[in-house]
Structure 1
Amino acid sequence: MKFSHIALPALLIGGFAAPALAGNLEATPVEPVIATPAPVPAAPLGRDWTGPSAGIQLGYGGFNTDESSEEYEEKGVYGARLNYDHDFGSWVGGAGMQYDRTDADLGNAGDLDGIFRLGARAGYDAGNTLIYGTGGYAKAFTDGGTLDAGDSDGYYVGLGTETFVSDNWTLGTELTYNEFKDFDDSDLELDATQLNVSLNYRF
């Protein structure tokens, strides 16, 4: 069999097949890919202030009696605090106690050994920070002195902040004004202004 007898039919077949194949080689339209934006992470929720806390505090105070203008003492203080708070959403309310130890010289009234406070606080929940007002009962303890003044009931008012620095730890600042007029010596009055910084563990 001659080569031409094979080649000619093959070429004829190839000639008819080529257009068909060429039609199949046209580019397939590509659907455009639309990028979907990544979801935006939700803003972190505010802290839950509900629960007890315990802390230590350091501060500085000015202590003044009405005995004379010279009987004014500035002294460092240190102590401990306990609180329980309830978070109502935008607002937080709670109660607590604290004791500050010092040895401020009150002149004829002797030395101020310490101040105990028991009261309430309420404030605004700003997420990681609580901004609050506080107030309640206070008691001053004195020792020595020619007046033998003893102890006195009183009251305190103040402003403070508390801020989360980790999941359980907070740093606080508190400014309080304390007043006492119930010493054994009825003529003695004491006012004390303190600024404390606290480190607290929230359970």
Structure 2
Amino acid sequence: MKLRTALAATAAAFLAAPLSAQSLDDFTGFYAGAQLGYGDVGTNAPGVSGDDWIGGIILGYDYDFGDWVIGGGIDYDWADINIAAGVDVESVWRIKARGGYNWDNSLIYATAGYADAGTNALGSSDGWLAGIGYEYRVRSDLSLGAELLYHEFDDFNGSGIDVDATTVQFRASYRF
């Protein structure tokens, strides 16, 4: 409940923020925001899987070369995805690079990078991610978008269990 309240307050702050002088089709600059979505976690162990809501914060920087945009960012998601009796995925950190095509005030991109997932009982483990996304400049300082990511964690924390996760999230970003 606290996560939903925090995300709603963040969205309200973005919408109430003053307009900047930046053009709608220029993605150069820093951004910060929030994301909310759904995560589906699977493993190579029989019966060990789960899905539930996730949400978190984002921070990054993009450089717009005209038709092409390159950038990088970090994400942190809170989660409560039960995958087995007493085992919950509680968080995911990501460090990502992204590159894509900019037309008008839209950006379609591919992304890849490093991920670290944490659980309440099995510790944490690192892996990789890849995905696609779309971002739309609603105002010069506000972007809305969506992102689909695939994560893979081989031999999760030395347990011999391979974990994969797919997330889809809707994002709101304030652009500086």
Query: How far apart are the structure 2 equivalents of 1:109 and 1:63?
Result: 15
**Could you say which residue in structure 2 is the equivalent of 1:133?**
110
TM-score (norm 1): 0.72
Query: How far apart are the structure 2 equivalents of 1:101 and 1:189?
Result: 21
**Could you say which residue in structure 2 is the equivalent of 1:118?**
95
Query: How far apart are the structure 2 equivalents of 1:105 and 1:97?
Result: 24
* Letter in structure 2 aligned against 1:72: S
Q: Aligned to 2:30, which of 39, 42, 52?
A: 52
Is residue 85–residue 94 contact of structure 1 (8 Å, CA) maintained in 2? yes
Higher strand share: 2
Query: How far apart are the structure 2 equivalents of 1:193 and 1:109?
Result: 21
* Letter in structure 2 aligned against 1:103: D
**Could you say which residue in structure 1 is the equivalent of 2:62?**
85
- Structure 1 runs of 4+ aligned residues shifted over 6 Å read none
Q: Aligned to 1:199, which of 159, 172, 175?
A: 172
Q: Any idea what the Cα deviations from partners look like across 1:1-20, whole Å, max 9, x if unmatched?
A: xxxxxxxxxxxxxxxxxxxx
Name stretches of at least 5 consecutive residues in structure 1 with no aligned partner: 1-44
Deviation for aligned residue 1:127: 1.3
Q: Any idea what the Cα deviations from partners look like across 1:154-198, whole Å, max 9, x if unmatched?
A: 000000011011121010100000011243343111110000001
* Letter in structure 2 aligned against 1:106: I
Name stretches of at least 5 consecutive residues in structure 2 with no aligned partner: 1-22
Greater RCO, CA 8 A, separation 6+: 2
Deviation for aligned residue 1:46: 6.1
**Could you say which residue in structure 1 is the equivalent of 2:13?**
none
Task: Give the structure with higher Rg (CA).
Answer: 1
**Cα distance, 1:121–1:81 mapped onto 2, change above 3 Å:** same
**What percentage of residue pairs aligned between the two structures are identical?**
42
Is residue 59–residue 76 contact of structure 1 (8 Å, CA) maintained in 2? yes
Q: Any idea what the Cα deviations from partners look like across 1:132-169, whole Å, max 9, x if unmatched?
A: 0000000010112xxxx211110000000110111210
Is residue 153–residue 182 contact of structure 1 (8 Å, CA) maintained in 2? no
Query: How far apart are the structure 1 equivalents of 2:123 and 2:155?
Result: 9
**Could you say which residue in structure 1 is the equivalent of 2:132?**
159
* Letter in structure 1 aligned against 2:97: A
How many residues matched? 154
Matched, 1:171 2:144: yes
Q: Aligned to 1:74, which of 37, 42, 51?
A: 51
* Letter in structure 1 aligned against 2:31: S
Give SS of 1:199's match.
strand
Is residue 46–residue 126 contact of structure 1 (8 Å, CA) maintained in 2? no
Q: Any idea what the Cα deviations from partners look like across 1:92-125, whole Å, max 9, x if unmatched?
A: 0000000111111121671101111001000001
**Could you say which residue in structure 2 is the equivalent of 1:31?**
none
Query: How far apart are the structure 2 equivalents of 1:143 and 1:130?
Result: 36
